[in-house]
Amino acid sequence: MSERVASSAKRQIIHVDMDAFFAAIEEQRHPEYKGKPLIIGGSGDPSKRGVVSTASYAARKYGIKSGMPLRTAYKRCPQAVFLPVDFKKYCEVSAQFMIILRDFTSLIESWGLDEAFLDITAASRKAVKIAWDLKQRIRAEMGLTASVGVGPNKLLAKIASDLNKPNGLMVIEETEVEKVLAPLPVSKLLWVGKKTTARLREMGINTIGDLLKVPLDTLKARFGKAYGQMLYSFARGMDESPVVTYHEPKSFGRETTFQVDTCDLNLVKRVLSGFVKYLVKELREGGYRGKTVTVKIRYSNFSTHTRAHSLPESTDSPQIIYDEVLALLPKFDLTRKIRLVGLRVSGLEKKAR
Ligand code: TTP
Ligand code: MG
């Protein structure tokens, strides 16, 4: 093998993840809340419906996590400061974050507002030096902290950034993969969510070290060929997935939870009509048309139903999409109380310009 091929086969990936992102931005705007338990979510009123978007590290000590109902968070920590989500502001700060990252490489795969992978294989400087610089620049220019992980692939870089949060910098070398990974819970692996964690637990597998002992065939039989193979490779710290600089969206969607469960069909229609306008704007901005319209309804007992219809031709017309919504609504039981309503447009096609 030539040297060039050998060196291009060994990659250097950085994963960067801002610490308590929304909460850190709010602390910066309100220095009086620094160090206090701070919870960002919904309208910022814990007596109202809504979930925690994020909690400061001081609030996490009380067991408060993203996705938890605000009311539960209030019960756990009534003295916490609750603030509403100011998405516009967080997007602005995120744009600043991306500009800094782009100074290091154009090979960036962003995951949401505060997280990204950078492929720095081609850089002449050492990865750890670059990671350090990146942290310094975020600190100096944004006044915020990030946790950075370095590894030979995305899987290990992401695990590394998570290992020393907040304000961490961690490198996982290929030689120490087994030592570092073995004691960690399987949920630290990319794409291993609650369901897989539970199924693995049923098999007596809790840590990555446990997973390492399971033969490939067993994993394939239990989890299917592709996912079984992935679990087998991931347990060994192996991940060949490239840093993908741009993802075409698969769909556009929006949903909302009503403050009070409702049977008011006019209200449901008004909300859906608002979603149509918003989604059409998103479709047009991206130059897309969609083919499939899906309405989602969650009833007060949390049972969730979807009804979908595909059009013969893709569209970005608000009228056509709203007509589909009106045709789908009678397929639901509209006598029951509704908690949440959502709309999704999928089957996207790029519009010929
Ligand atoms: P994360 O990076 O998962 O969380 P974080 O930055 O708040 O905390 P840390 O990385 O230090 O663990 O998510 C980034 C932002 O995305 C977070 O500040 C708020 C938002 N978010 C939600 O709105 N809902 C969620 O369920 C999660 C996980 C995040
Ligand atoms: Mg983060």
pLDDT of residue 6: 39
The rounded radius of gyration (Å) of the Cα atoms in the chain is 23
Q: For the segment 11-32, what is each residue's pLDDT rounded down to a tens digit?
A: 999 999 999 999 999 999 999 9
- What atom of ligand 1 comes closest to residue 165's alpha carbon? 11
- Contact status, residue 155 vs residue 190, Cβ threshold 8 Å: yes
- The pLDDT of 294-318, averaged and rounded, is 96
134-187: pLDDT as tens digits? 999 999 999 999 999 999 999 999 999 999 999 999 999 999 999 999 999 999
Question: How far is ligand 2, taken at its centre, from the CA of residue 266, in Å?
Answer: 39
Helix axes 87-102, 21-29, angle to 10 degrees: 110
Q: Which residue is catalytic, options 92, 115, 285, 349?
A: 115
Q: Is 115 a catalytic residue?
A: yes
Residue 231's pLDDT band (cuts 50, 70, 90) = very high
Mean pLDDT of 324-333: 98
Q: What are phi and psi of 241, to 5 degrees?
A: -60, 135
CATH topology of domain 251-350: Dna Ligase; domain 1 (3.30.1490)
Give domain 13-18+89-178's CATH architecture. 2-Layer Sandwich (3.30)
Does residue 27 have its Cβ closer than 6 Å to ligand 1? no
Q: How far is the CA of 21 from the centre of ligand 2 (A)?
A: 5
Task: State how far the Cα of 205 lies from the Cα of 234, in Å rounded to an integer.
Answer: 14
Residue 65 Cβ < 6 Å to ligand 1:
no
To test the ligand 1 pocket, which listed residue (53, 90, 164) has its Cβ within 8 A of the most ligand atoms?
53
Q: Is the sign of the CA dihedral 27, 28, 33, 34 positive or negative? A: positive
The verdict on the CB of residue 161 being under 6 Å from ligand 1 is: no
Q: Which of 18, 38, 66 to probe ligand 1 with, by most ligand atoms within 8 A of CB?
A: 66
CATH assignment of 21-87?
3.40.1170.60
For residue 45, pLDDT over 50 is answered with yes
CATH 1.10.10.10 fits 182-235, yes or no: no
**4 has pLDDT over 70:** no
Give the pLDDT score at 22.
98
Confidence of residue 351 (pLDDT cuts 50, 70, 90): confident
pLDDT-derived band of residue 353, with 50, 70 and 90 as boundaries?
A: low
Of 17, 21, 188, best ligand 1 pocket probe by most atoms within 8 Å of the beta carbon:
21
* Mean pLDDT on 282-309: 96
SS3 of the chain: CCHHHHHHHCCCEEEEEECCHHHHHHHHHCHHHCCCCEEECCCCCCCCCCECCEECHHHHCCCCCCCCEHHHHHHHCCCCEEECCCHHHHHHHHHHHHHHHHCCCCCEEECCCCEEEEECCCCCCCHHHHHHHHHHHHHHHHCCCEEEEEECCHHHHHHHHHHCCCCCEEECCHHHHHHHHCCCEHHHCCCCCHHHHHHHHHCCCCEHHHHHCCCHHHHHHHHCHHHHHHHHHHHCCCCCCCCCCCCCCCEEEEEEEEEEEECCHHHHHHHHHHHHHHHHHHHHHHCEEEEEEEEEEEECCCCEEEEEEEEEEEECCHHHHHHHHHHHHHHCCCCCCEEEEEEEEECCEECCC
Compute the Cα dihedral for 181, 184, 189, 192 and give only its sign.
Answer: positive
Q: How far apart are CA 180 and CA 164, in angstroms?
A: 12
Supply the pLDDT for residue 249: 85
User: Structure tokens of 113?
Assistant: 């507002």
Query: How far is Cα 2 from Cα 8, in angstroms, rounded to an integer?
Result: 10
**pLDDT at position 273:** 98
Residue 8: pLDDT over 60: no
Q: Quick: pLDDT tens for 132-149.
A: 999 999 999 999 999 999
CA of 53 to the centre of ligand 1 (A): 7
Percent of the chain with pLDDT strictly greater than 90: 94
Q: Report percent pLDDT > 70 for the chain.
A: 97
| Average pLDDT score, the chain | 95
pLDDT range class, residue 5, cuts 50, 70, 90: very low
Are domains 182-235 and 251-350 of this chain identical in fold?
no
- 143 Cα: distance to centroid of ligand 2 (angstroms): 15
Q: What are 76-107's pLDDT values in tens digits?
A: 999 999 999 999 999 999 999 999 999 999 99
pLDDT average, residue stretch 241-254: 90
Mean per-residue pLDDT, 275-283: 97
Q: Cβ(235)–Cβ(216) under 8 Å?
A: no
Q: Where are the domains of the chain?
A: 13-18+89-178, 21-87, 182-235, 251-350
Instruction: Tell me the C-alpha to C-alpha distance, in Å, between residue 36 and each of 23, 31, 165, 167.
Output: 11, 10, 18, 18
Ligand 2 is an ion; residues with CB less than 5 A from it: 17-18, 21, 114
